[in-house]
């Protein structure tokens, strides 16, 4: 699809591209050779782009002509390009003295073209039953624009940076379920981070995640809990017990239902702003794009934008690219999760399995991570749940900090697990 601009506007774009480095750098990712109506304009553009990519400066007309000379089509003559360059160079300067105008034109056209192509590609994906990939294609099309976030000005933004990093009152923190961990993290975790809990099957990863969800609810946050293994109702029952301190076995009694409702009403009243959505996906079917699609639906239909996303658990997700080996897939899923946390400016907690050695060691470290060490490199914070048979009988557990990007590591926090209400709390290790 060619530009809808008149010939001289297209020539103006070429003039600015080949003479103004700032214009070139801001606009080059939005321009494609096929956008120009005339083949001569396309070849001039390609010559400028190739020269700059190789030498990091804009070419003179003689270099452009030398490049074009080697790419002339049958019946094309070099003097036609010489004439066209002369025409471009002789444009009325008043017509090209506002580069921002040309930038806006190109940006608007590029956005429209990108969306058209995304819709066409989406139809093909729909026919191939690759529905969950459609949103990513459309989302990428929506990101087509000139870059306006140029980063942090190191010397000029000092006070704002200090506020963000060192002012505890200013800095938003997500508390964990253990005060010792919060202290080590200078108050807790932050948005745009990925946190993991590591344990063998059956030790309590899901219980830990639900406790973490309740903790964020008590901070008045909106929480999205994604279950890839248990039903939504089963997860909700766990939230029932932890939020109300009513034992799991009593939840089945009809006479308890009124007490649960009363306590949940009090919970919601006390922690205003708290909201919880629980969504179940079949095991092994959800990708990170599935979650993105869900987030769009929640925003549009429920006015819900989560502060915390909990994914239970990552091995049960499917990578967008399905041709990867298992260890590569796990690292890729972790990278996709952290990218999602940054994109939606939220915290993500997830769980991951240990390998077989995790069952036999007394303290789970990164050596016992199942399938992929790469996933631990991606996350910002990771703890392991450690429990012997004796500790299980005594409702005890040791939580070991495997990784902390913003605090100390390799220390243990003793914990008590009340298996009737499923609550996990830090202890002093003496009782």
Query: Tokens 């025409």 belong to which residue?
Result: 87
**For 168-426, CATH number?**
3.40.50.300
pLDDT tens column, 317-358 = 887 666 566 667 788 889 989 999 998 999 999 999 887 777
Tokens of 318: 């499917």
Euclidean distance between CA atoms 140 and 212, whole angstroms: 32
Quick one: pLDDT at residue 30?
Answer: 81
Q: At CB < 8 A and 24+ separation, what contacts does 231-235 make?
A: 231/280, 232/278, 232/279, 232/280, 235/206, 235/210, 235/278, 235/280, 235/312
Those residues whose C-beta lies under 8 Å from the C-beta of residue 399, and which sit 6 or more positions away, are: 178, 181, 383, 384, 385, 386, 412, 413, 414, 415
* 181 phi, psi to nearest 5 deg: -65, -40
pLDDT tens column, 108-162 = 877 787 888 888 888 888 888 877 677 777 777 776 666 555 667 777 767 777 7
Residues of the chain with CATH 1.10.860.10: 7-113
Residues of the chain with CATH 3.40.50.300: 168-426
Closest CA to 133 of 322, 282, 343, 341: 322
Grade residue 169 by pLDDT with cuts at 50, 70 and 90.
very low
Tokens of 61: 């007309």
Euclidean distance between CA atoms 168 and 158, whole angstroms: 16
Beta-strand runs (E) in 65-120: none
Compute CA 353 distance to the chain's CA centroid, rounded to the nearest angstrom: 22
* 265 phi, psi to nearest 5 deg: -65, -40
User: Average pLDDT over the chain, rounded to whole?
Assistant: 86
Quick one: pLDDT at residue 70?
Answer: 86
Residue 164 pLDDT exceeds 80: no
Closest CA to 133 of 309, 5, 319: 319
Scored b (16 or more CB within 10 A) or e, 332-369 reads: bbbbbbbebbeebebbbbbbbbbeeebeeeeebbeebb
Q: pTM for the full model?
A: 0.69
Alpha carbon distances (Å) from 51 to 15, 57, 66? 15, 7, 11
Residue 47: exposed, middle, or buried by beta-carbon count in 10 A (0-12, 13-18, 19+)? Answer: buried
Q: Are 101 and 128 in contact (CB under 8 A)?
A: no
**For 7-113, CATH number?**
1.10.860.10
pLDDT tens column, 368-387 = 775 566 788 899 999 999 99
Euclidean distance between CA atoms 353 and 314, whole angstroms: 9
Instruction: Over range 381-396, report the average pLDDT.
Output: 94
Tokens of 207: 């219980």
How is 104-116 classified by DSSP, letter by letter?
A: HHHHHHHHHHHHH
Q: Are 353 and 370 in contact (CB under 8 A)?
A: yes
């Amino acid at each position: 699809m060619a530009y809808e601009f008149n010939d001289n506007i297209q020539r103006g774009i070429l003039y600015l591209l080949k003479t103004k480095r700032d214009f070139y750098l801001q606009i080059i990712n939005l321009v494609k050779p096929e956008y120009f109506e005339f083949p001569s304009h396309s070849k001039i553009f390609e010559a400028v782009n190739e020269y700059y990519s190789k030498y990091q400066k804009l070419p003179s007309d003689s270099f452009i002509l030398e490049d074009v000379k080697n790419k002339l089509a049958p019946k094309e003559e070099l003097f036609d390009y010489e004439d066209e360059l002369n025409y471009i160079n002789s444009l009325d300067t008043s017509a090209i003295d506002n580069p921002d105008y040309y930038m806006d034109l190109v940006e608007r056209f590029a956005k429209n073209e990108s969306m058209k192509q995304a819709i066409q590609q989406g139809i093909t994906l729909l026919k191939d039953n690759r529905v969950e990939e459609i949103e990513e294609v459309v989302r990428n099309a929506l990101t087509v624009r000139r870059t306006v976030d140029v980063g942090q000005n190191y010397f000029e933004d000092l006070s704002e940076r200090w506020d963000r990093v060192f002012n505890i009152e200013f800095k938003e923190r997500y508390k964990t379920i253990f005060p010792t961990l919060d202290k080590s993290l200078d108050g807790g975790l932050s948005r745009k981070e990925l946190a993991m809990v590591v344990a063998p099957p059956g030790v309590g990863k899901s219980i830990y995640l639900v406790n973490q969800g309740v903790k964020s609810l008590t901070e008045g946050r909106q929480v999205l809990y994604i279950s890839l293994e248990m039903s939504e109702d089963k997860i909700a029952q766990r939230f029932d017990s932890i939020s109300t301190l009513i034992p799991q076995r009593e939840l089945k009694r009809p006479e308890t239902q009124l007490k649960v409702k009363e306590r949940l009403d009090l919970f919601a009243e006390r922690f205003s702003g708290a909201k919880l959505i629980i969504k179940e996906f079949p095991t092994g079917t959800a990708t990170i794009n599935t979650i993105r699609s869900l987030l769009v639906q929640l925003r549009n239909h429920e006015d819900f934008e989560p502060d915390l996303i909990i994914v239970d658990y990552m091995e049960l997700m499917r990578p967008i690219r399905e041709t990867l080996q298992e260890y590569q897939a796990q690292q890729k899923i972790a990278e996709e999760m952290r990218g999602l946390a940054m994109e939606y400016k939220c915290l993500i907690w997830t769980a991951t399995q240990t390998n077989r050695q995790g069952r036999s060691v007394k303290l789970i470290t990164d050596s016992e991570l199942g399938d992929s060490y790469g996933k631990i490199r991606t996350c910002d914070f990771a703890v392991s749940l450690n429990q012997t048979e004796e500790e299980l009988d005594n409702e005890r557990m040791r939580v070991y900090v495997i990784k902390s990007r913003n605090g100390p590591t390799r220390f243990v926090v003793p914990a008590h697990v009340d298996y009737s209400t499923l609550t996990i709390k830090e202890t002093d290790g003496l009782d």
